[in-house]
Amino acid sequence: MVDVILKKGKEKAVLQRHPWVFSGAVERIKGKPADGYIIRLIDAKGGFMAYGFYNGQSRVAVRLLEWDEQVTVDEAWFRAKVATAVNARKELLADGSTNTCRLIFSEADYLPGLIVDKYADHLAVQVLTSGIDNNMPVIIDELQKLLSPASIFDKSDASSRGHEGLTTENKLLAGTHPPELVEVKENNITYGINIAEGQKSGFYCDQRDNRRILAHYTKGKKMLDCFSYTGGFTLNSLSNGAASVTSVDSSALAIDTLNENIRLNNFDNSKHSAIKADVNSQLRRFKDEGEKFDVIVLDPPKYAPSRSALDRASRAYKDLNRIAMLLLNEGGLLATFSCSGAMDLETFKQVLAWAALDAGKQVQFIYQFCQPEDHPVRSSFPEGEYLKGLLCRVL
């Protein structure tokens, strides 16, 4: 096994079990490990620190897996990690109201670079590191042993794959090809999931709890669901008696699937309209037309992919929220989200305070949304916490 020697003074994060070693923290490498191979991380005095995946192309040169020198990171090690993660989702799926969730969440489940989402009997995987890529045969075999899925589909089209020298994949790994729309249930609502063509692995299951919680506030209300995708917030609110919901998304496929989801649930079509448009332009159009709402959801894509993008992203979040505040009836509710890991909750609150000032409104934060249990945050990896939201009463 190849030894990667850490620079003096860089031990702290490793000792605290943070799973990343940046290339700048590496003193030297004894040998030439291929990308994705398992190496031993050694401190400046020659002592063992941890085992991890090496990648010479990535800014994160080593992704740490195991801190106990006596434990071998072999097939059995990967099988155990997969089984532990899958078992940890049992309670979430137990009552049958939901049969879709994230089964494996990368670093948070001690498998850096592996995402596995369950869509009823089908699985969608994203492989974001060469280390996981090398070990996929055993991971697939273990998933089959544990779950006997109808299919396992590789949906590794994330841009981050390029950083590890991997190419985009969109292909069947096992079983028979999933239907164009896989039917799943979440909070007792039916969705059609297009695994091969949809965004990410097909669905944003990280908003499951937040959709249900918000629906509680929408009975009899006129709601606007911005960045609706296939209608997670829309459908939960219609199911809970919203008076009407307008959904806006720029993706034609998202809107088509949302309309199909309305049909699948037999919801009253006259209470729902879907608009394919850019949210920023549509909000301005509503303002010009004097249209107002009781509840507005803002669930935009990640505006800040990194810390360096935070200033620009903050201005974009502020502008978006400012205009939404202007479209609310007196005392209306704004459910506003950020899935940018670089934007923490305090900064997000600050952005909303600026938006309120500019809009000439007062805001009360009445609830804090977060990511659900199948997207755990590992205490030694705070970077895994990315989804936050605030329910605001706007006066």
Of the candidates 40, 22, 23, 19, the one whose C-alpha atom is nearest the C-alpha of residue 31 is 40
Kind of pairing, strands 20-22 and 60-66? antiparallel
Smallest gap from residue 283 Cβ to ligand SAH (A): 10
Residue 339 is among the residues annotated as catalytic for this protein: yes
The span from the CA of 78 to the CA of 75, in Å, is 5
Using CB atoms, what's the residue nearest to ligand SAH?
A: 232
Backbone angles phi and psi of 383, in degrees to 5 = -60, -20
Of the candidates 309, 370, 315, 381, the one whose C-alpha atom is nearest the C-alpha of residue 342 is 309
Smallest gap from residue 312 Cβ to ligand SAH (A): 15
In this complex, which beta carbon is closest to ligand SAH, that of residue 202 or of residue 384?
A: 202
In this complex, which beta carbon is closest to ligand SAH, that of residue 217 or of residue 227?
A: 227
Work out the burial of residue 113: count CB atoms within 10 Å of its CB; fewer than 13 is exposed, 13-18 middle, 19 or more buried. Answer: buried
In this complex, which beta carbon is closest to ligand SAH, that of residue 64 or of residue 245?
A: 245
List Cβ neighbours of 125 (8 Å cut-off, separation of 6 or more).
Answer: 114, 115, 116, 117, 152, 153, 154, 155, 156, 173, 201
Smallest gap from residue 235 Cβ to ligand SAH (A): 9
Angle between helices 208-215 and 232-239 (to 10 degrees): 40
In this complex, which beta carbon is closest to ligand SAH, that of residue 59 or of residue 315?
A: 315
In this complex, which beta carbon is closest to ligand SAH, that of residue 72 or of residue 368?
A: 368
Interface characters, 207-236, with ligand SAH (x: CB under 6 A): x-------------------xxxx-xx---
Which of helix, strand or coil describes residue 181? coil
Smallest gap from residue 41 Cβ to ligand SAH (A): 37
In this complex, which beta carbon is closest to ligand SAH, that of residue 20 or of residue 191?
A: 191
The span from the CA of 230 to the CA of 252, in Å, is 10
301 is a site residue for ligand SAH (CB under 6 A):
yes
Within 275-294, the residues that bind ligand SAH by CB under 6 A are 278-279
Of the candidates 100, 261, 95, the one whose C-alpha atom is nearest the C-alpha of residue 184 is 100
Pair of tokens at residue 57: 């192309």
Within 249-268, the residues that bind ligand SAH by CB under 6 A are 249-251, 254
131 is a site residue for ligand SAH (CB under 6 A):
no
Query: Do 99 and 89 meet the contact criterion of CB atoms below 8 Å apart?
Result: no
| From 205, 226, 339, 392, active-site residue | 339
In this complex, which beta carbon is closest to ligand SAH, that of residue 17 or of residue 285?
A: 285
- Identify the residue among 77, 204, 348, 369 touching ligand SAH (CB under 6 A): 204
Smallest gap from residue 298 Cβ to ligand SAH (A): 9
Backbone angles phi and psi of 167, in degrees to 5 = -95, 160
Instruction: From 10-18, 24-32, 212-220, 247-255, give the range in contact with ligand SAH by CB under 6 A.
Output: 247-255
Pair of tokens at residue 333: 């509710």
Smallest gap from residue 342 Cβ to ligand SAH (A): 17
206 is a site residue for ligand SAH (CB under 6 A):
no
The span from the CA of 374 to the CA of 87, in Å, is 11
Backbone angles phi and psi of 202, in degrees to 5 = 130, -25
Residue count, binding to ligand SAH (CB under 6 A):
17
Smallest gap from residue 236 Cβ to ligand SAH (A): 9
Sign of the dihedral through C-alpha 355, 360, 363, 369: negative
Interacting residue ranges for ligand SAH, rule: CB under 6 A: 199, 204, 207, 227-230, 232-233, 249-251, 254, 278-279, 299, 301
Catalytic residues: 339
